[in-house]
Amino acid sequence: MPFDNENTYIKMVESGKEQQFHEIYEEEIKKVVSYFDREYPNIVVEDVFEKDKLKHISPIDGKTIVGTFQMSTPETSNKAVEIARANYKNWYFSGYLHRAQIFLRAADMLSKRKFEFAALLTYENGKNRYEAMGDVDEAIDFMRYYALQLISNEGYIKFTGTAYYGEESKSVMKPYGVFLVIAPFNFFSITVGMVSGPLITGNSVILKPSSDIPLSSYLFVRLMHDAGVPKENLIYLSGSGGRVGRTLYTNDHVEGVVFTGSREVGMKIFREAQEKRPKVMVTEMGGKDTIIVTSKANLDKAVEGTARAAFGYSGQKCSAASLALIEESIYDEFKKRLVEFSKKLLIDDPRLKGTFTGPVINKEAYEKFQRIMAKVPKEKIILGGKVIQKDGYYVENTILDNVNDPDIERVELFLPIIALKPVKDLKEAVDFVNSMDYGLTGGIFSEDKNEIDYYFNNIEVGVIYANRKRGGSTGAMVGSQPFVGWKMSGTTGKGTGSFYYLPQFLREQAQTIVRV
């Protein structure tokens, strides 16, 4: 079975069904509200309700209650680890083909419900319909790709030959036991991919979802159970990261942690989880994603690719461009055209067909935007810079002109803000990027092959693109573009959606039988 990306919107447009895409989505937007304003339990084999609760509010209007979720207690968390630990071997010994078949079945089940999940994400984290559908598509891709990888590698069991006469040896990759997944708000697909890696390889997984997309994560876990994953091997625990996450990642029987989020939190988990003994740590900790535009660029491509990378999903992608280094000779022209193009991008309710940029995720992000803008000199703000006075958490797409402030130029912002900075040549731009702590994604716009080669050969970044108009630093596709962070952007140097990803959740055992 060959792997094929889901790509719903593109495939429907190509087959003349674009109108049908919009009609189905808009019908689901009406239907998914039936999920709202209910209470959802933790899932620790049985449904568990706690004393303390969390309410999830949609960023669309800052008022709609998506659902009420549980604040997991230490007792529930430790019980979850105990159950997961006691049952992971049964899941592993069910066989890699059995596990892969369950994941392929689950992918098909999610595919049938993809418009429902996309509509739900619009309410939960404010994605427009195109971004939301792409997110669900990527989740489906992760499940299928990892299942096919497990099958093609025959469960990562390999005969290794004979060292001495009469001996037969093989390498068997086996699960560690229990992995904790601490997921981010910005991509449902990241949650699904982070769960899929350790789970399909035979580990038990405890999912601590983001408090900003708890409902889609809850429904995903229910779907996986319906597809055949035993409840003992996939557990759902909601709650705050500081309170619930720490109880779990410091538990001695949690052998590994999969984390996507900020550098500060990621490093805290990295240190505290391993205080007593080594654990597997698979983390992605964001980036300062930078686009370089040289004098040999096609400016139409560069402007569109930069704007889409900066303002898609309100700059809240790990790969969002928040810095552009522009060769001095074209700086003024590029700046003028970027402002003109960006003005045309509609900021509005993400349920509307024409919306490009929706709200930021929550009140904290909304207030962070205001704090940053208060520190930027007004003459440096050449587009945007203000909040939008309407219900919900809406801010303007913002372009800054050569602010020369390390808090802007070297820090991940995770907001629809991009800073422009002139450089004298490509080498200066590459050196600037390489001097940063981060190394997640980036891109170059140049029609000169030698410049592209120089960039590819010298940039210290995990995911790079040349002349990508659809998103100069964004849009990695499962199977084609492994998503991997270098330096402070990640801990393993192995990318999601890659053939190197699954072995991270397995440990090798050398087995030898003497026959004579």
Q: Which residues are catalytic?
A: 284, 318
CA-CA-CA-CA dihedral for 18, 341, 371, 386, to nearest 10:
-90
CA–CA gap between residue 178 and residue 105 (Å, rounded): 23
Strands 486-487 and 438-439: antiparallel
- Measured CA to CA, the distance from residue 401 to residue 377 in angstroms comes to 10
Angle at 123 between CA 121 and CA 129, to 5 degrees: 60
Residues listed for the chain: 516
Q: Where are the beta strands (DSSP E) in 321-440?
A: 321-327, 381-383, 398-401, 417-423, 438-439
Sign of CA dihedral 344, 348, 349, 352: negative
Rounded Cα–Cα distance for residues 52 and 245 (Å): 16
Pairing, β 157-161 against β 167-175: antiparallel
DSSP assignment string, 297-358? S-HHHHHHHHHHHHHGGGG-STT-EEEEEEEGGGHHHHHHHHHHHHHTS-BS-TTSTT-SB-
Q: For residues 125 and 178, is the Cβ–Cβ distance under 8 A?
A: no
Under a CB-based contact definition with an 8 Å cutoff, are residues 170 and 159 in contact?
Answer: yes
Taking the C-alpha atoms of residue 479 and residue 471, their distance in angstroms, rounded to an integer, is 18
256 strand-pairing partners: 179, 280
Q: Which two tokens stand for residue 357?
A: 């940029």
- How many Cβ atoms are within 10 Å of 23's Cβ, its own excluded? 12
DSSP letters spanning 372-389: HHHHS-GGGEEE--SB--
**Cβ–Cβ contacts within 10 Å for residue 251, how many?**
20
Instruction: Please state, in angstroms and rounded to a whole number, the distance separating the CA atoms of residues 422 and 402.
Output: 7
How far apart CA 376 and CA 190 sit, in angstroms, is 33
CA distance 375 to 178: 45
For residue 370, give every residue at least 6 positions away whose Cβ sits within 8 Å of its Cβ, in sequence order, or none: 387
Q: Give, in degrees to the nearest 5, the angle at Cα 490 between 488 and 495.
A: 145
